């Protein structure tokens, strides 16, 4: 059986076409692929270095036996392939340039602004539209430039409202709208591919799908959704398929906990667990006492109270790791710090597992295939040291301990704003890579 894969490898603005034929020999595959790409890039770009930074768009070809993915390794991305994979038989230059992924943001609150920051720092994403009916472009520019937690992004001279419908972000002009009806936001007019739904108000799949009526191709919900397919980078993003038009990223706590739980469950088998997140302030916590009809305690003054609250993390884990469905309980405490939170995880395994073995497994994953998603620390950190950390969660080896042969306490830190915003953009890039991949069997 023959398999043809069409994708692109990118070095700066060049991209090349790659085809695989089903043959054995994984070492031959990797060597042939890299050698072929080097020859093409050296012929088309004299300044090409010996170890370029390139990526493959499209990551899987199950019918051919190909099981591969790219992971970051310094500035060079390496290819990991399974047995029986194909060998690169043809690499040819294709005329043209690889376009950036065009995104729009609905809701310019904490997550909206931070997703914008991450997007504007990357060269594979282009922010083209922001919609928020409650703020002017002048105020939008001000809030983006100044952030009490993450610092000043740039001088106000570099970010300003050009007019009532345009903000210039350090020379990049972004269209601004104030539509309350999602279907009327003109995403299609600006060729927006992906809309990041950051308001927290449209977490149902059908309601978020209203963005598609305005011309958006895909919608990413930044929060838990009871009915939208949920994808967590480092856990199940490879399950994404082009027919998924509205997806959820779950919440920041879920993004911290799930990669850690996946390591524990895959390696040792989790019988049950209880998770408590000690969570920093959010936009819904109050500086003065006020009404909170759904959760009365959340109406208390956040600045000098520890407030018991709820989290959707345990709901999400049953959908992401089905064998753990019903085995995880979770709760939250809001604390008076502006950013950086921690997950306190109590786990019972089916068998005896020494704490040192758990630490070694987490460290191996953090330095391997979960690099830049799951972190590992054997220092003595405190919460403020994780403000601005782009990883989903950082395991604290010294903070945990064994309570019995199969019963442990584990702690992981996370920047509940910055790390999550990076994963949102990572998921968009992955979704785009799948959209641009075509398999022919």
- Residue 194 near residue 102 (C-beta atoms within 8 A): yes
Bridging pattern class, strands 60-61 and 14-21:
unpaired
Question: Among positive and negative, which fits the CA dihedral 352, 358, 364, 369?
Answer: positive
Give the E-state strand segments of 74-139 in sequence order. 76-81, 87-93, 101-106, 125-131
DSSP 8-state symbol, 98: P
DSSP 8-state symbol, 258: H
| Cα 44 from Cα 295, distance rounded (Å) | 62
DSSP string, 275-311: EEEEE---TTSBSS----SS-GGGGSBGGG--EEE--
Angle at 127 between CA 124 and CA 131, to 5 degrees: 155
Cα 372 to chain center, whole Å? Answer: 11
Of the candidates 198, 252, 256, 359, the residue annotated as catalytic is 252
Considering only CA atoms, which of 109, 130, 117, 133 is closest in space to residue 175? 130
Angle at 196 between CA 191 and CA 202, to 5 degrees: 120
Considering only CA atoms, which of 208, 245, 236 is closest in space to residue 224? 208
* Strands of 60-61's sheet in order across: 60-61, 66-73, 76-81
The secondary structure of 384-431, three-state, reads: HHHCCCCCCEEEECCCCEEEECCEEEEEEEECCCHHHHHHHHHHHHHH
For residue 3, indicate whether it is catalytic. no
SS3 content of the chain, % helix, strand, coil (to 5): 30, 30, 40
Tokens of residue 256, six digits: 């911290």
In this structure, how many other beta carbons lie within 10 angstroms of the beta carbon of residue 248?
26
Torsion angle of alpha carbons 112, 113, 117, 123, nearest 10°? Answer: 40
CA dist 302 to 110, 279, 289, Å? 17, 12, 8
Give the catalytic positions in this structure.
252
């Amino acid at each position: 059986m023959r398999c043809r894969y069409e994708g692109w490898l990118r070095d700066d603005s060049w991209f090349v076409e790659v085809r695989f034929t089903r043959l054995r020999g994984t070492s031959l595959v990797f060597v042939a692929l890299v050698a072929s790409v080097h020859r093409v890039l050296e012929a088309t770009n004299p300044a090409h270095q010996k170890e370029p930074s390139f990526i493959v768009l499209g990551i899987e070809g199950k019918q051919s036996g190909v099981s591969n993915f790219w992971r970051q390794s310094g500035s060079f991305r390496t290819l990991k392939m399974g047995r029986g994979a194909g060998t690169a038989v043809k690499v040819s230059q294709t005329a043209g340039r690889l376009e950036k992924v065009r995104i729009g943001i609905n809701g310019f609150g904490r997550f909206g602004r931070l997703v914008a920051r991450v997007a504007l720092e990357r060269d594979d994403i282009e922010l083209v539209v922001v919609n928020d009916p409650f703020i002017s472009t002048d105020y939008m520019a001000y809030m983006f430039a100044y952030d009490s937690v993450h610092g000043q992004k740039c001088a106000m001279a570099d970010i300003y409202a050009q007019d009532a419908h345009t903000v210039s972000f350090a020379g990049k002009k972004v269209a601004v709208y104030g539509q309350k009806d999602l279907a009327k936001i003109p995403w299609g007019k600006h060729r927006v591919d992906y809309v990041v739904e950051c308001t927290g108000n449209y977490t149902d799949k059908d309601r978020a799908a209203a963005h598609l009526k305005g011309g958006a191709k895909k919608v990413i919900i930044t929060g838990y959704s009871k009915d939208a397919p949920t994808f967590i980078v480092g856990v199940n993003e490879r399950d994404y398929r082009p027919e998924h038009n509205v997806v959820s990223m779950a919440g920041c706590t879920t993004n911290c906990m799930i990669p850690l739980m996946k390591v524990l469950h895959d390696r040792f088998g989790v019988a049950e667990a209880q998770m408590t997140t000690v969570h920093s302030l959010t936009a819904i916590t109050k500086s003065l006492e006020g009404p909170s009809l759904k959760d009365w305690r959340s109406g208390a003054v956040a600045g000098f109270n520890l407030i018991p609250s709820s989290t959707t993390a345990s709901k999400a884990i049953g959908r992401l790791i089905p064998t753990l469905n019903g085995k995880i309980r979770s709760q939250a405490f809001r604390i008076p710090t502006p950013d950086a939170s921690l997950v306190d995880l109590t786990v019972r395994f089916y068998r005896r597992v020494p704490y040192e073995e758990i630490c070694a497994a987490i460290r191996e994953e953090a330095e391997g295939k979960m690099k830049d998603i799951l972190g590992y620390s054997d220092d003595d950190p405190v919460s403020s040291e994780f403000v601005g950390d782009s990883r989903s969660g950082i395991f604290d080896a010294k903070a945990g301990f064994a309570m019995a042969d199969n019963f442990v306490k584990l702690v992981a830190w996370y920047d509940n704003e910055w790390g999550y915003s990076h994963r949102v953009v990572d998921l968009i890039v992955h979704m785009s890579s799948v959209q641009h991949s075509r398999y022919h069997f």
